[in-house]
Structure 1
Amino acid sequence: MMDFHTNFKTIQDTISSALVSVTRTATKISAEDLGFQRSLDPTVANTLDKQNARLLVLAERLLANAASGSEVVGPKLQDADGVEANWRGVVDVVDSLLEKADTSLDEYTGVVKRLSPSEEQVTTKQLPSKLLNELRSKDLPKPQKTFEHVPQNNETGAFRPLITSKPHAMIPLEESLSEATDLNGKPLIHNPYQTEIEFYKYPPSVYTRAEPIPYAPFENTTATFVDTPEALDSMLAELKTAQEIAIDLEHHDNRSYIGLVSLMQISTRNRDWIIDTLKPWRRRLECLNEVFTDPNILKVLHGAFMDIIWLQRDLGLYIVGLFDTYQAARALGYTSGALAFLLQKFVNFQAQKKYQMADWRRRPLTPAMFEYARSDTHFLLYIYDNMRNELIDRSDFSNPETDLTFRVLEKSKETALQRYEHPVYDTEFGLGAGGWYRLLSRTPATFSKEQFSVYRAVHRWRDNVARQEDESTNYVMANHAIFSIARAIPLDKAALLGVAQPISPILRLRADELVAVIKAAKEAGENGPDMNEVLSKIDEIHQKPIFQPQSLSVNSATNILSTPTVATLVALPIRTHTSQFWGPAFTSSIWEQRRTASTANIRLALPLPQLTAEVFADPADANTVVDSSVKGEHAFVSAKERVKEEEDDGIFIIKQLGGGRKRKMDEMAGSVPTPLTTADLVDEDAGADEVPLLDDKARRKAEKKAAKRLKKQQKALNGSATENGNDEASSAGREVEPFDYSTAPSVLHARHEEGKKGKKEKREKGFNPYAKAMDAPKGLGRSQRESAGRSKTFGK
């Protein structure tokens, strides 16, 4: 089996070359007049029909294969017209692929923690049927319904941390939970361990190079499954004695609106634990803060951005002393930041990423799922040892700019400072992770007022239903279905079910409700806001300052810290509008380009310096010293010595200004025709280095051609001499009479004489202004026929 990481460049080059070849071939074919070729030769027509049918079958199979791993149905392409008729289905398949690619890239790079997709996304070609039955859990009961604290999906205001006590505190819990406001005036509560995280000092071992500690053999060890309070207490006692621990989570978000932490893995240098976080008493896991916030224990996580959020939201856990190996991979410039890449690089362990598609709510866990979960943390401390040494070797601790270790630790602190906030839906501007603006910015589209109104209304309806049913928004309706409904605006149930593919059970039951929403949105959209106007307002919001300074008071009893200034994230823009190097950023979407194209304020995309005299100065003259007192002078020439110019009387003769032909004839008359030479027998198009090899026939032909050319020159000379003689004689004998416009034939002086009655008498024809219209040179005839042995082309 080909190693993906080491041979990715080869695979990429092969695919790229194949795509370039296909694109070039398709471009060449499209440039030909296939319709003309089809009409000339029936054989060509039959061949084209066969190839069209073959390409349609391949395209249909390709679309069906692409749609098999998603919730989209591949369109049927019966003929060439079927491509245009089912084009919307083709677009839906492409949109679903782009969504999967976007999610996969985020998970592969480690920016976003891997998510558990729906059971329909597990393809039968990738996994055997027995494993599919283990991973697919269609009828699993929702474990959140058995929790002691059932998640609430409609909460507003600031998220209040779940913790009831604060171990290892520098500031008491009551002061840490004080409320504040952001720039928009919305309430917020800071991270309870914000001060502890900001002023945390990492242990000296992080800055000391040491030999990596070997990990225990994976095959000879196992993990302890923690699913009782007694097992939790035993694990906690052993974790308190460790110096470093590795932590990872398994998350499920398909059958829950906000998601569920389904599993937690913790490893020390000698032991592995897997904690069941779906127990009704899951809030008792808050006791792990005694270890997670202990400044004497280093916590190693990979891609901890979402882990920090999920721990706060579900379990009330916080991390102090975080080392994120994903940030280390970025600082070291690795080709990938994924955990699978690090396992392959340092341990040569191939992670079974197919279990990433598993439903981690399943109990009991299968042996394969259990081992996969354990592998995420079993090797992580050994990987940390290697990356720590590499950071130390490549860091200059005296210079913060080249101190890679300091950079990784600061980024890890920023990750640990993340706060969870309730998902509040913004109807007007669609801001936030679950808003309509983020989806529209990833899939640029141009909507009319009615379509834009329907798009926002359907997106809001999906969010409301997902909250009520405690389901994910993608489970209720796929993203591409919202765009399809907005374009088509179906006004009855049958049309809706035909457009919104695939149809979830919830959508089928509440189809009438959605039809009513679409009708109301269409009516409201007739006088509603324009799409570009709303997007312009959103851009103005993004251009406002993002961070607001907040201050926390410090306990006077501790007398350790000064009042810290904290940056609170208000709204993260999708893209930046300015560049530190180029200035204003270029547009990145279709609707942005259309909006800016219609504005009257046109400016340069690349800022230019102010145009001054220094810009055009010659660098060579930079060192030249010019005396400002010296003035430029011109040499004086007296009037007698000046060259006398000829006076112009203002009279000119046309023949004096022209005469190009006569002048050429005079030059030819002065020249004497030269006899034929060998050079005359050589073709004019032959190169300078080519030697003519002429047979008798070719030589006679060349001589005849040269003689014809010489005869033509002599004839031209004789004719010009005769013409010149006549002109001179006529001009010498008489003066040139001026042209009389009064007697010249024209429409105004046309003569019409009437004949006598009873006699047929010729009438003098009047002036015909079109009489000489046919004297122009004639072009080619309308019908051009081929003659034998000759071609009417324009080549030489």
Structure 2
Amino acid sequence: MATDDDAAMPPPIPTADTFTHFQDTLFSRVVATVKTAGAIAASDVSFQRSSDPAFNEGLDEVSARILGLANQLLHAAARGSSDIATPARMRDVDDVENGWGEVVEVVDYLLEKAVSWVSTPAALTAMISALEKCTEIAVDLEHHDTRSYIGFTCLIQISSRDQDWIVDALALRGELQALNAVFADGRIVKVLHGAYMDIRWLQRDFGVYVVGLFDTHYAAKALGFPGLGLAYLLKKYVGFDADKQYQLADWRIRPLTKEMFDYARSDTHFLLYIFDHLRNELIARSDPSNPSEDRLQRVLQDSRETALKRYERESYDAATGLGAAGWFNMVARDNLTPLQLALFKAVHQWRDNAAREADESTHYTLSRRQLFGIARQAPTDVETLLKVCVPTSHVVKERAKELVELVKSVIENPPDETVAPAAQEASAPEMELEPAPVATVPIIKTDIFAPAATAAASIQAHKSAFWGPVAGISSRWETGAVAASISLAVELPPLTAAVWVTPGEKEKAREAVVVVDPGARVEHQYIKGAAAQRKKEDDIIVVKALGGARKRKMPDDEAAPATADAEAEVPAAAVGESKEGSASGEEKEEQEEDAVALEPSRKREKREKKELRREKRRLAAAGGAGAAGDSGSGDAEKPREFQAFDYSKAPPVFNGHKDKGRWRDKKPGQQQQFDPYAKSGDAPRGMSRGQKERAGKSHTFKQ
């Protein structure tokens, strides 16, 4: 039977063999304690304390033991790190509430310490054993190619739901092929972001292949996010700001700095959490019945195609310059002379060979700007070369004389000036297309108004002269009955009446010519008979515009032909009498009626009559009968009289009243004055002084 002394004794310290059992037992008891505390908190603890003294004493004793255990754990965790302060000892509920921030800081530190640095084969084996039990893992790589010709992988970051691993790829370069046990297992989902290059680096450096890839870059793209980078996803779902200044850091450094270590870990630490959110959004916004709207399937397909990519190193092609490391893409948009282009190609090839021998990156050896500087300036001495290549790499410094001699050799043997530009030299050979057969159509002279059937058959072709025998496009090239008429491609000029006149009719027309006034319109002898019929066809019906008293007026360019036709209807005898001034009043009235019949408006008809009578009276009074006869034709029109508006005598706009009798004393024939303020009083009135806006209730809607 256990005594009080046995209960007060601390539990034995677990050994390495019993630690797993001790951890499981402790975890189960902590869960039970939390459940009991939650059940007690739901009830009225204060009432139980006051009604049951034994319950009150037991609760205080258990609370003191829990606080003591929590203080020991917090102090032990804080002593292991210099980054966090040791929290104050908690004695009651108030201390727990006031010092909760310090407790959270220690707990976060303990969770962040769940990361392992893998640099030995034993640690690698333990990591692989733990990863084989997972259903999804997050993977990322840190690559270095700034000071290497090809580049190599320095770090591999792997995270599960419970732990993070950072693998030293430099120390375990020959051992990492064992990762295929996890990476090639299709039952384990590998979550990567932007895995296009990671897939190639794993194949090139370690012979590791990825099966079961989920690329979060494609997920962000399918969901239409404004940002597709990992930094955007970290900020969106976690609120974590990634410091991208270490993205191009020198990952060969050992040991890693704390900042570089935290950056490498953050790339995969939150990636599975982001994967959960992206997967849920893809499922919610996908329609499996509609392939075009199945976003999840699209992301899986894109990820599958990325995982199937194979690493293949492209060889350097100095002749064409094609490929990722070639010179073609660099000079395609620059206008270089043939000599400059030859220098650029020679120096570009020298850079590739020198960087390969020194195991340096081509950009570090000679940058793009330095390549174009050498091609344009063509330095022939070391001093000028070093001024162009600033900053200067150690490769250029050590082999400067060699590079200068190369430039001199290109200058001494210049290329042919007729060489095509680089874009034409490096273009892929064009396919030689077999020219389409051209159908020769014979030129046959025939009557265009009544072509014979044989002539039409010889002109018509059964296939296109440009496209060849293209079937099913147009019936023009199909074999069939030949039409009797051929549609002309060029429009003919309009035919006149003189075309149909015989030589005999022309002689009669010359004899019947009557000498008339040069100012009058000459009557065409061959279309005189059609005047009456055209008069009826040219009649214009004027319709009043809706909603107004004015009538539509015909433009002058439309009214002129009608007037000319009316003048042509006047007999020659009448024209002569009018010229002599001996026409009677009845004949003049008939001429006026014929001319007015074609006017588009009754108002214009009245005005013409008044002006004609006024002109006749004036000429009769002056004794100019001949002049009155000339004016009787109605060709001249008296200009309208307008009276300028006097702004100084105009009434006020806002408070003035309209003068209704203002035009009562106007002279006959005088146009009404234009008043710019005539309609100013018709504008809507503003709010009266009695209607003011009041605070509170609105008067817009009345109940």
TM-score norm. by structure 2 comes to 0.48
TM-score norm. by structure 1 comes to 0.42
- Which structure has the larger Rg over C-alpha atoms? 2
